[in-house]
A and B are shown apart, each in its own frame.
Chain A
Amino acid sequence: MKKEKKKKVKNQNHTLPLLAMISPTVIWLFLFLVISLVYIIVISFMTKGPFGTIKWMPSLQSYIDFLNPVYLKVFRKSVEIAALTTVFCLLVSYPFAMALSKTTGKKKMLFMILLVLPFWINGLIRLNGWVNILRETGILNSLLMKIGLQPINFMYTDGAIVFGMVYAFLPFMVLPINNSLSKMDPALLEAASDLGAKKFRTFCRVTLPLSIPGIFSGTIQTFIPSLGAFYIADIMGGGNTMLLGNLIKNQFTSARNWPSGAAFSVVLIVFTLIVMKLYNKVGNPEDLV
């Protein structure tokens, strides 16, 4: 009886071909990634028709439009904000990741849960929560006024956007750095100390260089999404600041100019690919996973 069961299991393993296992993924990616991506690329080279339609006449007009100084300024601003977000994410994440990598057992679980728990709530709701805390008549300012300080205008500034983005993308920086640091043999720190290096020197010569793969991976995972994120700029910036993500969204929705929205998307994709390519050249691509 037992033997028969074993045989069955074995057969099942053999009769489940690789193709069947990966095909759902393949179909999904083909439908929602490949087709839509090709569609976007194609319409980016078309002309805008009246009332938001697409005129099937090839043209480079949308790409030429992008060279408009107003749009270039939006592009520059997006890169600036994404870069600032990445830097602040790194500064906040590194000490946390270090602490995380040094803890074990239940404490580590607690830290991990604290890090991931907010993501069980919708991002828009969480951001609106922050609006309530930070706005002019919000919780933070009432507290400041209670202790006799002037209220500060946090909301609807570039700073607020960066804050929102750092908040949203923090785990994507913490986790890869923690991963790098956890892989490090603790004996290396003892060896450095044994060889005469004090704590700061050990950090500079051993810990930091060995966590570079994590920093690389985390940087990619925060910089790229923050380039395209539009809802954070909408909510935290109150529509005062236009980023590339907002621009693309507006082209598709309010401006009803699909070809230019598509063209700007293609620009963003190409820029992202270039950044990743440059990054891969400096770092080890295997570490980016």
Chain B
Amino acid sequence: MTEKMDKKPIISLRNVIKKYGENLVVNKINLDIYQGEFLTLLGASGCGKTTTLRMIAGFEDITEGEIFLEDENMAGKPPYHRNVNTVFQSYALFPHMNVFDNVAFGLVEKKMKKAEIRKKVREVLELVQLTGFERRKPDQMSGGQKQRVAIARAIVNNPRVLLLDEPLGALDLKLRRQMQLDLKHLQQQLNITFVYVTHDQEEAMTMSDRIAIMNGGVFEQIGTAEEIYEHPKTKFVADFIGESNIFETSIHAVEEKMLKLIMEQGDVTVREQGFEVNEIAYLCVRPENIKISEFPVEGFNLKGIIKENIYVGSQIKTTIEMINGYLVKKTAFPDGDMKPAGSIVYLYWDDGKSVLMHTKEDKIYNYIESAEGGSIPS
């Protein structure tokens, strides 16, 4: 991360806003993407990730803000004047052209000599392992092959940045896993910057150098897969990436680097800084970090009863019901600490295995939600 910070960004988004009428799709985002980086825009559908990609490609106007490609402002530049290429979700191969003509499309537009076009197309088809498919039409190819043609058609133009819009969405799981690795290796081999859009968190974590998690038109967190998983900055990220136990808590006391937390489920002391007394916060603990004991553990007052243990092969998934009915998820290896269903246990976790997050709430709303459920405020 730090070594990348030294480099100059190849793409910079500055306070970019996109509105469709009154509908705010992208809300003032800032992002720097560096040379040779594999950056993924990750989020649920409608979060603005595809719109962001399309603004970089030039298919969508920017309502406010600026996008720079190598320090050049892209305002008003049509897609055909931008040195970026796109791999479309639907592949968008030209159905009336064979593989050769599809891949050569951009080179023909650049008025390159025929011999050179032939050479370049041959090279790139070799790279995506489609040698011998030159005369095939798109409708005579499988999804995975079409996908590779789409990639070849884009990278043959030697773009500064390759934009990929959920390119593996239509493939089956096994092929998708293979293509994820292939794409990652291709990116390393070519050393082209990839900006990748997906809603699949596993895909994002497999491939990316950095992940930008989008929600409601803003970035919730930008960082490496590890940073995002280990240190989620918001409740959304903790929820979206992997599984989490999220407790709503209020800070009871601040002592030297230690915080005393009051929660509905019980009290906990954690090593955190930067919080004020009476602040409402979320405490996030990953299921694999939850530990159980027959006796109370110092610093933890979390009592629960084991509801069930489910054996799923590589691990055991345990559900523990807390005093207020909240269900804690815990996973462990089959040989780990395990108690039969019905046992009363005390939960704890190792120092530094929990993350405390600021909220914008000023009260714990579990109560409020359940109290107001279904009633119409007068």
Interface residues of A (CB under 8 A from B): 185, 187-188, 190-198, 201, 205-206, 209-210
Contact = CB atoms under 8 A, between A and B. Distances in A.
Interface in B8-53: none
Interface string B228-272: 000000000000000000000000000000000000000000000
A205 B96 CA distance: 10
B92 A191 contact: yes
Given A190-B59, A190-B86, A201-B109, A196 B157 contact: yes
Contacts of B94: 188, 191-192, 205-206
Given A194-B79, A196-B110, 11 more contacts: A187-B92, A188-B94, A190-B57, A190-B88, A192-B94, A193-B58, A194-B154, A196-B106, A197-B80, A198-B78, A210-B95
A193 B84 CA distance: 11
A210 B94 CA distance: 9
A50 B153 CA distance: 75
A187 B109 contact: no
Contact of B90 (A185, A205, A206, A209): A185
Nearest to A191: B92
Interface residues of B, number: 24
Contacts, number: 60
Nearest to B84: A194
Interface in B48-104: 57-59, 78-80, 84-86, 88-90, 92-96
Contact of A210 (B96, B106, B157): B96
Interface of B: 57-59, 78-80, 84-86, 88-90, 92-96, 105-106, 109-110, 153-154, 157
Contacts of A185: 90, 92
Contact of A191 (B88, B96, B110): B88
A195 B153 contact: yes
B80 A194 contact: yes
A196 B93 CA distance: 15
B138 to A, nearest CB: 11
Contacts of A193: 58-59, 78-80
Given A187-B90, A201-B109, A205-B105, A194 B85 contact: yes
A261 to B, nearest CB: 45
Contacts of B58: 193-194
Contacts of B80: 193-198
A195 B158 CA distance: 11
A190 B109 contact: no
A213 to B, nearest CB: 10
Contacts of A187: 88-90, 92
Nearest to B163: A194
Contacts of B92: 185, 187-188, 190-191
Nearest to A184: B95
A191 B109 contact: no
B76 to A, nearest CB: 14
Contacts of A190: 57, 59, 79, 86, 88, 92
Nearest to A187: B92
Contacts of A210: 95-96
Nearest to B89: A187
A191 to B, nearest CB: 4
B82 to A, nearest CB: 8
A195 B95 contact: no
Given A201-B109, A209-B96, A210-B95, A194 B90 contact: no
A244 B92 CA distance: 47
A251 B79 CA distance: 63
Contacts of A201: 109
B99 to A, nearest CB: 15
A210 B92 CA distance: 13
A197 B85 contact: no
26 contacts: A185-B90, A185-B92, A187-B89, A187-B90, A187-B92, A188-B92, A190-B59, A190-B88, A191-B88, A191-B92, A191-B94, A192-B94, A192-B105, A193-B58, A194-B57, A194-B58, A194-B59, A194-B85, A195-B153, A196-B106, A197-B80, A197-B105, A198-B78, A201-B109, A205-B94, A210-B95
A150 B41 CA distance: 68
A143 B88 CA distance: 54
A192 B58 CA distance: 13
A194 B96 contact: no
A192 B95 CA distance: 12
A32 B96 CA distance: 41
B109 A195 contact: yes
Nearest to B108: A205
Contact of B109 (A188, A197, A209): A197
A199 to B, nearest CB: 9
Nearest to A193: B79
A190 B84 CA distance: 13
Contacts of A196: 80, 106, 109-110, 157
A190 B78 CA distance: 11
A192 B59 CA distance: 12
Most chain A CB atoms below 10 A, which of B58, B84, B85, B109: B109
Contact of A195 (B59, B90, B96, B105): B105
A57 B57 CA distance: 77
Nearest to A186: B92
B61 to A, nearest CB: 14
A210 B57 CA distance: 24
